[in-house]
Structure 1
Amino acid sequence: MEACQTPNSDANSGLKHYPLTPLRLLRGLACLVVYLSTAFMFLVYFSPVAAVLPRFFSIHYSRKASSFLFGLWLALWPFLFEKINKTKVIFSGETVPEKERVLVIANHRTEVDWMYLWDLALRKGCLGCIKYVLKSSLMKLPIFGWGFHIFEFISVERKWEVDETIMRKMLSTFTNPSDPLWLAVFPEGTDFTEQKCIKSQQYAAENGLPILNNVLLPKTRGFHACVEILRDSLDAVYDLTIAYKNRCPTFMDNVYGVEPSEVHVHVRRISLEEIPVSENECNTWLLERFHQKDQLLSDFIARGHFPDEGTEGDLSTIKCLINCTVVLAITAIFAYLAVFSSVWFKVYIILSCAYLACATAYNFRPSPIHHYVKGLLLGKKSC
């Protein structure tokens, strides 16, 4: 069996890209405080009026409003990565159109891969409509768990017998072609480690599957459910392959700006017609895609880059600064109102927090009033 290899990991690199100096530590902690405070203020002030109340009349317009506000806040992160931390995010492969409705699949190198999808989504005008299939334990995170619920991320237990019903129910609400959507799935189901790679290779050897060195065997059933239910409403599937220099970063590496030095994202746009309809053929297709990813990552290890680099330009510093200023100004106003204004603002915040906590805990989302009316009328007719 071939040995597992981790591109640009701790084993083949020395010191971190930037040392963790006191200045970087303070700057990182300050950024984290800013991001947490802005997230909290945006959620408690805007969720009731943009994401909850409009759903009683129109899920579509509720999603449009929440996508705009989510994108406004989420743009702070690419600003941190590319402008403050000076991480180079290098795109290669195909240039994809703006504002498409897509399913995104990617390899899972480390705990922060999902954050670098934001850099591509921002460039394509789709940052606010990105959603993830994520493990249910993340829904328990303070503040962020509320956001995951409000913005309709799909939480799973990573047990198909439990997750199938949940996934299909949520996916069925995403079939309106006019709703903005970037649904991101990591088919490996977990991030890559040496031990997980060895187990994956053992399973592959026992079952006559390809031996993969840089990715894990993909879990196919969730991907097939996404394609099956959303096929008629999607423009394409984006297949992203992610690699890092000089080592795979952690969340706090990103916060402090010590890693990574470069993030490489290879993009391939796939038409839905290329993906087989039957489950067995779709599973085989996904396995072949990950076999190709494995080879692509092996080439990256050897060459230090993906083919066809430079498909996306740099972010506009001016636009990033304007967006950051707007978010900070709104947060400052909200903070002032919460502390110094009428008691009713405090009541509003308490009620909003109570709703967000309960809705997240019990996975509650309101439906349009006409759905309730239709249900009542059908119930009367059946009587």
Structure 2
Amino acid sequence: MLDIQFWKLEVLKSRCQQGHALSKDSWGGSSLASSSFFWWLSTILGVPRLVVMEWGEDIKAVSKDEAVMLVNHQATGDVCTLMMCLQDKGLVVAQMMWLMDHIFKYTNFGIVSLVHGDFFIRQGRSYRDQQLLLLKKHLENNYRSRDRKWIVLFPEGGFLRKRRETSQAFAKKNNLPFLTNVTLPRSGATKIILNALVAQQKNGSPAGGDAKELDSKSKGLQWIIDTTIAYPKAEPIDIQTWILGYRKPTVTHVHYRIFPIKDVPLETDDLTTWLYQRFVEKEDLLSYFYETGAFPPSKGHKEAVSREMTLSNMWIFLIQSFAFLSGYMWYNIIQYFYHCLF
């Protein structure tokens, strides 16, 4: 078995030298045990594992300010991608708050998120108003008191494959943009966040920063980071693929665009229109990406420039070790209660 694993390692090294970017889902293998073993082995020997290409504006410039990331949602792997992208953005990961589906509360990393102060939201029209009130209260009690800086939000309210048909029917009925690569966003959670966290000037207008004035010490939410995740051939990576590694090597692409909060309307109707415009732009970005394999250049630039983002192998080794250990502990806890009950 060890000889086979080393043979695989040599093959992957060869692919890397030929310019093939490797990702966490590139290992193959028939079981979780062999996949994790090969993962640790490759980490120690220094083989690059996962690559994300970042496009658009450099969000490191605003990493010390308060910001909201608005992200399109295609699969559970989106969270893994974002966690990787934000590792080299200062203290963002330690000071950020996630909004995620309530089902994740009952997983091993959900317990960590609960302690960290993240918010678990229950989907469904019957829960919507109640969940928004709970979100408002959660922000008041946890955001500033725990020194949070960034919030990650998926405004579509679910995965693309699950919401696309409903979104398109709603768009057709209400004469709204017809989207295929994203769905129409919901504005409820975004409005709650902005109203709770945007500092108001004396005249009632939002007190936000300007991209050219990063030394400003204005308090409150200052930026909206419009984030677009793209997978080659529109084939998203789910969490099972990340763990078991049964897909061929791929590179994930992430595009950023930064908006000063003063340019974002706070009234419900205007905010909804503003969000629709952002997701229409995402639709165009993704259409361009699927046709060309790259994002279009920003305004005023002739060519789009991408930045390769990778993580240190030692950091990934430690994180993976902790993930498997916590998963094993969670399994034993469930097993214990199961035997107590039955």
TM-score, scaled relative to structure 2: 0.69
**Gap change, CA 1:253 and 1:161, over 3 Å in 2:** same
**Gap change, CA 1:18 and 1:154, over 3 Å in 2:** closer
Of 205, 214, 230 in structure 1, the residue corresponding to residue 172 of structure 2 is 205
Shift of 1:116: 0.9
**Gap change, CA 1:124 and 1:270, over 3 Å in 2:** same
Match of 2:117 in 1: 152
Counterpart check, 1:138 vs 2:104: yes
Counterpart check, 1:165 vs 2:154: no
Q: Tell me the distance in 2 between the aligned counterparts of 1:313 and 1:167.
A: 35
Structure with greater proportional helix content: 1
Percent of matched pairs sharing the same residue: 22
Cα deviations by residue, 1:238-272 (Å, 9 ceiling, x for unpaired): 11000112421121211233446010100011110
Match of 1:190 in 2: 158
**What is the alpha-carbon root mean square deviation over aligned residues?**
3.5
Shift of 1:115: 1.5
Shift of 1:120: 2.1
Please list, as runs of the form range in 1=range in 2, the aligned pairs for 1:301-320 lying within 5 A after superposition. Answer: 301-308=290-297, 309-315=304-310, 317=312, 320=313
Q: Tell me the distance in 1 between the aligned counterparts of 2:321 and 2:182.
A: 43
Aligned length: 270
Q: Which runs of 5+ in 2 are unaligned?
A: 1-24, 200-219, 298-303, 338-342
Cα deviations by residue, 1:297-329 (Å, 9 ceiling, x for unpaired): 111111111134545444363xx42x4577799
Of 26, 29, 32 in structure 2, the residue corresponding to residue 21 of structure 1 is 29
**Gap change, CA 1:31 and 1:186, over 3 Å in 2:** farther
Match of 2:64 in 1: 99
Please list, as runs of the form range in 1=range in 2, the aligned pairs for 1:38-53 lying within 5 A after superposition. Answer: none
Match of 2:22 in 1: none
Cα deviations by residue, 1:190-238 (Å, 9 ceiling, x for unpaired): 0111x63122111111011111111111111111111111112223111
Q: Secondary structure at the match of 2:147?
A: coil
Q: Secondary structure at the match of 1:128?
A: coil
Match of 2:74 in 1: 109
Counterpart contact for 1:94–1:311, Cα < 8 Å: no
Counterpart contact for 1:121–1:130, Cα < 8 Å: no
Of 32, 53, 58 in structure 2, the residue corresponding to residue 90 of structure 1 is 53
Q: Which runs of 5+ in 1 are unaligned?
A: 1-16, 35-78, 336-348, 358-383
Counterpart contact for 2:51–2:308, Cα < 8 Å: no
**Gap change, CA 1:227 and 1:26, over 3 Å in 2:** same
Shift of 1:287: 1.0
Segment of structure 1 superposing worse, 145-154 or 94-103: 94-103
Match of 1:248 in 2: 236
Q: Tell me the distance in 2 between the aligned counterparts of 1:144 and 1:304.
A: 33
Match of 1:275 in 2: 264
Counterpart contact for 2:97–2:148, Cα < 8 Å: no
**Gap change, CA 1:201 and 1:326, over 3 Å in 2:** closer
**Gap change, CA 1:249 and 1:183, over 3 Å in 2:** same
Counterpart contact for 1:101–1:235, Cα < 8 Å: yes
Match of 2:209 in 1: none
Q: Tell me the distance in 2 between the aligned counterparts of 1:282 and 1:297.
A: 23
Q: Tell me the distance in 2 between the aligned counterparts of 1:106 and 1:329.
A: 28
Counterpart contact for 2:69–2:152, Cα < 8 Å: yes
Shift of 1:274: 0.9
**Gap change, CA 1:173 and 1:312, over 3 Å in 2:** farther
Q: Tell me the distance in 2 between the aligned counterparts of 1:175 and 1:101.
A: 11
Q: Tell me the distance in 2 between the aligned counterparts of 1:184 and 1:236.
A: 12
Q: Tell me the distance in 1 between the aligned counterparts of 2:256 and 2:114.
A: 28
Cα deviations by residue, 1:103-129 (Å, 9 ceiling, x for unpaired): 111000112111111122112122222
Match of 1:341 in 2: none
**Gap change, CA 1:220 and 1:330, over 3 Å in 2:** closer
Please list, as runs of the form range in 1=range in 2, the aligned pairs for 1:217-256 lying within 5 A after superposition. Answer: 217-232=184-199, 233-246=220-233, 247-256=235-244
Q: Tell me the distance in 1 between the aligned counterparts of 2:27 and 2:321.
A: 32
